[in-house]
Structure 1
């Protein structure tokens, strides 16, 4: 692993200070395992298209998205297709026996009932029991929680309350206890993870140090930093900030927030976007970067972006400061933010340099040709 470039060195003093606080006891820890590569695979659409084509040799975990929360229970809303998907995903272990398959509960559209489900001790036990029942019945490997979001609004209509802050932690305690019971029954190890928002408000409305004690990995959704079609265009999955604003959203800032909140570096997993977000902008200055938007533009998945958009007049540019690519169409005044092979390489280097747990990505079907997964595989295992 070569040293950081000058821009990266300038960006990380706080991160190194935080990491230094753990140095006193890091020597007592077991050797760090290889970084994880966690693929979110969408079953919410129904049957997974051609699951046999998933490059499981290049990933360590599949998080199956999503399981719903209904009547206080983990609920297979799409039971008929979910069960087929579970069977076909489990069959992929013949190609990668170390592959772990987890159910991811919640997501943007199915998080409205978390707050009610885990409000009481009895409710938390029921939710944990039904979550683990799915693991037991379909011979899966763990539970991932994607609560968007405890204590703050997510999708319109979601229930949230101040008590979510403590109940978020207590939910993981109940889930871990239920998984431990299953471990005693089967003699197998079961995983507990979460997908978390990368904002300060998420950290402020949770007890991440306490919640992390029960979890194997914390998957930071370091994407969707900008989503408003009528706001300001900009990077949505940038490694560093592109401006002088110290509070500009970036993967680096998000990771720093979780480290400062007490989450161990080896449990932090950085998110990579397999899709782009676009804006139509009013001005053609700065090639559309950080400009006032007049509407949204569909970016599409990375395979589509790479193979189709250059031929349609889009020009690729690289933001050295943010370590992020973007596309600009001068005639249409369209700006698109996304991850590509170069930004993935920078993110993998960052994971190594800061001894993070690995990377995850949303979502597998957005890059069916495997361009970004190949880049992850190539760069994450470099020493």
Structure 2
């Protein structure tokens, strides 16, 4: 009964919360910044090309949000200072992620445990002068990198976000500034099946849709487009970003709250025979399975790897006939088409994982050109 009352209360908060209105100043460009052990330096981030930074990741220890890496304090200060260059920029902390989602289920289990976490979030945001929280729970009521989940996660996920939103509403009055609440969500339909997205969307500003990793080496017996905009008819899984977007809209998420996630990296398969240039062919994990776009641009393209274009999927691939390696990735052409799709379908914008994977700046340039955002002069080198 308490759960039902809490959800009803949360609905009332959501109905009056102005921060959850649709964006009015153009599409969001959200970068996941993941420096890990590195301390950020001036010029590392092109602040004027972004509207939001999600700093990855904070962890959950003892039911409370805590910093994850040694230089987080310095990095938060460096990122919030970028708002002098770009007043529109917001800096959030993302909690969880694939590796650190194991504590969510216990933390969200009771009203008392959620209250402890939410209090720690409020203190964390205040301490580091942040603009909100991104909840990256991978995944409610499903196994992620651990098997620590329970069926109650489905409703507790809703309750956690409703109670976070209610607390943020109070904190906004105290801080005299807007606080954002977003979530990172899986691209495949099982995430929707294990959550209450029609309710959840009422409490959050954006749903950051991870429309990538549809195919991963080692997870499927064949290669595939890991981030296609559309489904290739030859794709056995018939998956795509467009289909995921449609699924979330059908689940009750307004288009303007959906932020399309794009990868600044690719996946590589080895032992792939030269049929269909390696696409939808048997393969296994290559020695370097995770290929950052910077490495693709500098060491693969024009270095033994031939580029092919899957027109049906609007996705590029690479194939090395000598090494029998196939690569699925994102490039400026495919990214420009995704940005156009965002504009045409009035989505909330794009987010990408992760900033550090493209030191060339080519992919961020492609977003910039399609969205016609202000130039990055004096905003960073990339």
TM (norm. structure 2) is 0.88
Structure 1 runs of 4+ with >4 Å offset: 29-32, 244-247
Deviates more, 1:238-247 or 1:157-166: 238-247
Partner of residue 13, structure 1? none
Partner of residue 185, structure 1? 174
Structure 1 residue 52, shift from structure 2 partner: 2.7
- The secondary structure found in structure 2 opposite 1:219 is strand
Structure 1 residue 178, shift from structure 2 partner: 1.5
Instruction: Point out which structure has higher relative CO (alpha carbons under 8 A, 6+ apart).
Output: 2
Pick from 175, 179, 184: which aligns with 1:195? 184
Partner of residue 33, structure 1? 25
Q: Deviations over 1:307-337 (max 9, x none)?
A: 2212320001100000000101111111101
Partner of residue 11, structure 2? none
In structure 1, how many angstroms separate the alpha carbons of the residues matched to 2:235 and 2:265?
25
Structure 1 residue 218, shift from structure 2 partner: 0.3
Pick from 88, 97, 102: which aligns with 1:112? 102
- The secondary structure found in structure 1 opposite 2:133 is strand
Structure 1 residue 360, shift from structure 2 partner: 0.2
In structure 2, how many angstroms separate the alpha carbons of the residues matched to 1:30 and 1:148?
26
Partner of residue 216, structure 1? 205
Partner of residue 327, structure 1? 318
Are 1:64 and 2:60 counterparts? no
Partner of residue 8, structure 1? none
Structure 1 residue 296, shift from structure 2 partner: 2.7
Q: Identify if the C-alpha distance between structure 1 residues 33 and 246 changes in structure 2 by more than 3 Å, giving closer, same or farther.
A: farther
Q: Identify if the C-alpha distance between structure 1 residues 185 and 73 changes in structure 2 by more than 3 Å, giving closer, same or farther.
A: same
In structure 1, how many angstroms separate the alpha carbons of the residues matched to 2:261 and 2:287?
22
- The secondary structure found in structure 2 opposite 1:262 is coil
TM (norm. structure 1) is 0.88
In structure 2, how many angstroms separate the alpha carbons of the residues matched to 1:251 and 1:137?
37
Q: Deviations over 1:353-381 (max 9, x none)?
A: 11000000000000012110000010123
Structure 1 residue 209, shift from structure 2 partner: 1.1
In structure 2, how many angstroms separate the alpha carbons of the residues matched to 1:358 and 1:286?
33
RMSD over aligned CA atoms reads 1.7
Unaligned 5+ runs, structure 1: 1-28
In structure 1, how many angstroms separate the alpha carbons of the residues matched to 2:284 and 2:234?
24
- The secondary structure found in structure 2 opposite 1:375 is helix
Q: Deviations over 1:115-141 (max 9, x none)?
A: 000000111111111112111111110
In structure 2, how many angstroms separate the alpha carbons of the residues matched to 1:317 and 1:170?
46
Are 1:378 and 2:359 counterparts? no
Structure 1 residue 297, shift from structure 2 partner: 4.4
In structure 2, how many angstroms separate the alpha carbons of the residues matched to 1:46 and 1:268?
31
Deviates more, 1:234-243 or 1:295-304: 295-304
Q: Deviations over 1:178-205 (max 9, x none)?
A: 1112111111110000111011100000
